[in-house]
């Protein structure tokens, strides 16, 4: 089946630093999504990407849909303590009404004040 | 607007007992998804419905798990009998069902089977 790879499992950065996370797939997707999960909550959508090569920003977050359609990255600039959480990538292969997502295992981000 | 509502938020039960998790999707959404999250396996899709009809239940672990969606505003995930390895956080998510539309997650039910 489809698998998404996110590594490392954990990242530790200093407040104010930029951080980049990568997600790779063994197969093609035509939608890439990045979610963030806070402790005790469900994942919340950060950015959605719908076209190969697309670069999209949401405040301090920037994400890109890889040209090969098998990867995506998320950048967080000028990190702050509330950026702490688990960041998941998710891929979707849109076929008609099929809206099934495949999730990576997530990267736990820690931000030191 | 209310998001996806799940109940209970926490459940502690003993092995062998029946567990029922409940979900109310966002009004107007016609796709509903049940996920399980564990440290070892991450976020796994168990089953999803479109217009109340189960579309893909290939992620349901075994016959002890069943899910229903009797109407557009309610779904249940039942485990009978429960086992300690079922301990996890169970999320419900909903979307408009259109291809490419994002899924909105509920807060989850944290299940502990002793």
Q: Do A40 and B107 touch (CB under 8 A)?
A: yes
Is the pLDDT score of B63 beyond 70?
yes
Q: What share of chain A is helix, strand, coil (3-state, %, to 5)?
A: 5, 55, 40
Name the more confident of A95 and B109.
B109
Going by pLDDT thresholds of 50, 70 and 90, the confidence category of residue B108 is: very high
CA distance A71 to A69: 6
What mean pLDDT do residues A94-99 have?
64
Q: ∠ CA B106-A1-B31 to the nearest 5 degrees?
A: 30
What is the rounded distance in angstroms from the CA atom of residue A47 to the CA atom of residue B96? 17
Q: What is the mean pLDDT of residues B22-27?
A: 97
pLDDT at B1: 63
Contact state of A104 with B55 under an 8 Å Cβ cutoff: no
**For position B102, what pLDDT does the model report?**
81
pLDDT (mean) for A31-56? 93
Average pLDDT, chain B: 93
Burial of A26 (0-12, 13-18, 19+ CB in 10 A): exposed
Judged against a pLDDT cut of 80, whether residue B8 lies above it is answered with yes
Would the CB atoms of B43 and A48 count as touching at under 8 Å? no
Instruction: Read off the pLDDT band of A2 (50, 70, 90).
Output: low
Q: For residue B107, list chain A residues with Cβ-Cβ distance below 8 A.
A: 40-42
The string of pLDDT tens digits covering residues A56-95 is: 999 999 999 999 999 999 999 999 999 999 999 999 877 6
pLDDT at residue B42 greater than cutoff 90: no
pLDDT of residue B76: 98
Q: Within an 8 Å CB–CB cutoff, is residue B104 touching chain A?
A: yes
pLDDT-derived band at B99, boundaries 50, 70, 90: low
pLDDT exceeds cutoff 90 at A100: no
Q: What is the DSSP letter of B100?
A: T
B30: tokens are 């016609």
Three-state DSSP class for A98? strand
Q: Check CB contact under 8 Å for A95 and B99.
A: yes
pLDDT at A99: 66
Please state which of the ranges A94-98, A108-112, B14-18, B74-78 shows the lowest mean pLDDT.
A94-98
Q: Which of A49, A99, A105 to mutate to test the interface with B (most CBs of B within 10 A)?
A: A99
Q: Distance (Å) from the C-alpha of residue A14 to the closest C-alpha of chain B?
A: 25
d(CA B21, CA B67): 9
Residue B34's pLDDT is what? 97
């Amino acid at each position: 089946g489809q698998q998404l790879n996110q590594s490392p499992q954990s990242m530790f950065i200093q407040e104010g630093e930029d951080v980049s996370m990568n997600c790779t797939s063994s197969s093609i997707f035509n939608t890439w999504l990045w979610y963030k999960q806070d402790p005790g909550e469900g994942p919340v959508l950060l950015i959605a990407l719908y076209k190969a090569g697309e670069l999209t920003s949401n405040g301090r977050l920037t994400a890109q849909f890889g040209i090969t359609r098998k990867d995506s990255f998320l950048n967080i600039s000028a990190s702050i303590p509330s950026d702490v959480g688990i960041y998941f990538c998710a891929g979707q292969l849109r076929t008609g009404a099929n809206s099934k997502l495949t999730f990576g295992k997530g990267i736990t981000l820690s931000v030191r004040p | 607007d209310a998001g996806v509502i799940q109940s209970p938020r926490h459940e502690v039960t003993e092995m062998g007992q029946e567990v029922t998790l409940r979900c109310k999707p966002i009004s107007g959404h016609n796709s509903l998804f049940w996920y399980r999250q564990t440290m070892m396996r991450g976020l796994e899709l168990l089953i999803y419905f479109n217009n109340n009809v189960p579309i893909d239940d290939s992620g349901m672990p075994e016959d002890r798990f069943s899910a229903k969606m009797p109407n557009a505003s309610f779904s249940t995930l039942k485990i009978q009998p429960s086992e300690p390895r079922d301990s996890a956080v169970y999320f419900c998510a909903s979307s408009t069902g259109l291809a490419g539309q994002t899924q909105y997650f509920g807060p989850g039910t944290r299940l502990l089977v002793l």
